Amino acid sequence: MNFAATLRIALLALRINKLRSALTMLGIIIGVAAVIVMIAVGNGAQARVEDQIKSLGSNIIMVLSGSMTSGGARGGSGSQPTITEDDAYALNREIDEIQAAAPSLRGSGQVVAGNANWSTVFYGTSPEYLQVRDWAVIEGRSFEQAEINGAGKVALIGQTVALNLFGEANPVDQVVRINKVPLTIIGVLDRKGQNMMGQDQDDIILMPISTARKRVLGSSRYAAGRNVGSIMVKTKDGANMAEAETHMRELLRQRHRLQNAQDDDFYVRNLSEILQAQEASSKVMSLLLAAVASVSLLVGGIGIMNIMLVSVTERTREIGLRMAVGARARDILTQFLVEAVTLSLIGGAIGILLGVGGATAIAEFAGWRTELSAGSIVLAAGFAGAIGIFFGYYPARKASRLLPIEALRYE
């Protein structure tokens, strides 16, 4: 007996009990759709985290000023300015694993351009900052060394600031004033979007660190000396970040002349690690979701087995007749197996359509990011087929083992 004939018999048998076939498929449909949607949601969450890692820049380590204890009260990080611009340059120079280190002085204020104004944050930094953050200047140019050394009255602005101050006009060569200091805009930064805290990273102005210190910050405590709020470090690709951290710590302790017994007067934070932990947890989450969804696939498979057993019992006489006219045990086995697999594959196909539709709908209406992958669809389809074979085998074998004479006599 050939496969086309077997398939035709299976389709006929499924058509005869339309409602029952549909209800049996429902388990598989829901299971497959759930697996696809859950994997899409999980992948979407992961992709979002990956994008955040990318927007932060990869392999980032932050060095922050330490805390100060005065009269028993311990201040928070940065309460005591301990790290300096020169620490940043030393890190750059002396540690092999480091690709770039940028000092930064943070401030905020009202920016005025013509009759428009906007409140934003600004950073005084060095050109390495752009390298550390993988940030491109899309219009104009970056800082020149002379401007860094000489407290040049220049600035780079983010997209949000550009939009709020200049609208559609080109901001390059325009002049803005921050704390009454006029700065010429020499370039516009590429769009970064939100960071992982939901802050707008494009709402920013960068200027040479000397400019910030000497001209803009004015009376701020950081304005004196060489202190900076933080140093942002990017390690080389493939460098061991833990080793890089250790070396940085050793160098900074040495520069700050700390004794062995003394605690660090700075903090080293590996931001990529935090994000990677997030990524790992979102991976676990999506695995968990897929596992829960596959439970419903399993239940759907049990439904198929149940209905196939009922079907075998109901059609005992038909089986007896087929055997009487020459069907071998393996013909009967194949017939019922094909019926079960057809049931699960049709269910799987409908489930895939529903799953793809569901993932699209979630992205559309709930605004979650979802990512459909061909792999998950192939996986779900393969799983559905495997379930048909696994749960169809027992009933089919039961049918094939009937004795022709008993099957014919069955009432």
Partner 1 sequence: MSAPLIRVEGLAKDYVMGSNVVPALRGVTLDIAAGEFVAVMGPSGSGKSTFMNLLGCLDHPSAGRYWLGGQEVSALSGDELAAVRNRKLGFVFQHFNLLARTSALDNVALPLLYGNVPAAERHPRAERRLIQIGLAERMDHHPAQLSGGQQQRVAIARALVNDPQLVLADEPTGALDSRTSVEIMALLQQLNREGITIVLVTHEHDIADFAGRIISFRDGKVVEDRSNAPKDAAAQL
Question: How many CA atoms lie within 13 Å of 254's alpha carbon, on the beta-carbon side?
Answer: 9
Segment contacting partner 1 by CB under 8 A, of 95-103, 236-244, 360-368, 400-408: 400-408
DSSP 187-213: EEEPP--B-TTS-BTTSEEEEEHHHII
Report the C-alpha gap between 385 and 204 in whole angstroms: 54
Does position 63 interact with partner 1 (CB under 8 A)? The reply is no
Cβ proximity to partner 1: between 385 and 404 the closer is: 404
Segment contacting partner 1 by CB under 8 A, of 192-200, 219-227, 243-251, 322-330: 322-330
Does position 132 interact with partner 1 (CB under 8 A)? The reply is no
**Interface mask toward partner 1 for 186-225; x: CB under 8 A:** ----------------------------------------
Which candidate, 190, 201, 196, 183, places its Cα nearest to that of 147?
183
Segment contacting partner 1 by CB under 8 A, of 144-152, 293-301, 317-325, 379-387: 317-325
Instruction: Name the minimum Å distance from CB 342 to partner 1.
Output: 17
Instruction: Name the minimum Å distance from CB 344 to partner 1.
Output: 23
Instruction: Name the minimum Å distance from CB 368 to partner 1.
Output: 47
Instruction: Name the minimum Å distance from CB 316 to partner 1.
Output: 11
Segment contacting partner 1 by CB under 8 A, of 109-117, 221-229, 280-288, 313-321: 313-321
Structure tokens belonging to residue 363: 């992205």
Span 11-50, contacts to partner 1 by CB under 8 A = 12, 16
Does position 314 interact with partner 1 (CB under 8 A)? The reply is no
Q: How many residues bind partner 1 (CB under 8 A)?
A: 24
- Beta strands 181-189; 137-140: pairing state: antiparallel
Does position 313 interact with partner 1 (CB under 8 A)? The reply is no
Instruction: Name the minimum Å distance from CB 330 to partner 1.
Output: 8
Report the C-alpha gap between 374 and 361 in whole angstroms: 18
Among 192, 213, 215, 322, binds partner 1 (CB under 8 A): 322
Which candidate, 327, 282, 278, 239, places its Cα nearest to that of 45?
282
Angle formed by the axes of helices 374-400 and 329-361, nearest 10°: 150
Cβ proximity to partner 1: between 366 and 403 the closer is: 403
Instruction: Name the minimum Å distance from CB 323 to partner 1.
Output: 7
At a CB cut-off of 8 Å and minimum separation 6, what does 126 contact? 88, 102, 103, 143, 148, 208, 209
Report the C-alpha gap between 370 and 358 in whole angstroms: 10
105-to-129, 153, 189, 230, 352 alpha-carbon distances in Å: 11, 16, 18, 7, 53
Segment contacting partner 1 by CB under 8 A, of 83-91, 166-174, 177-185, 324-332: 324-332
What is the contact surface with partner 1 in residues (CB under 8 A)? Answer: 1-2, 4-5, 12, 16, 317-318, 320-331, 403-405, 408
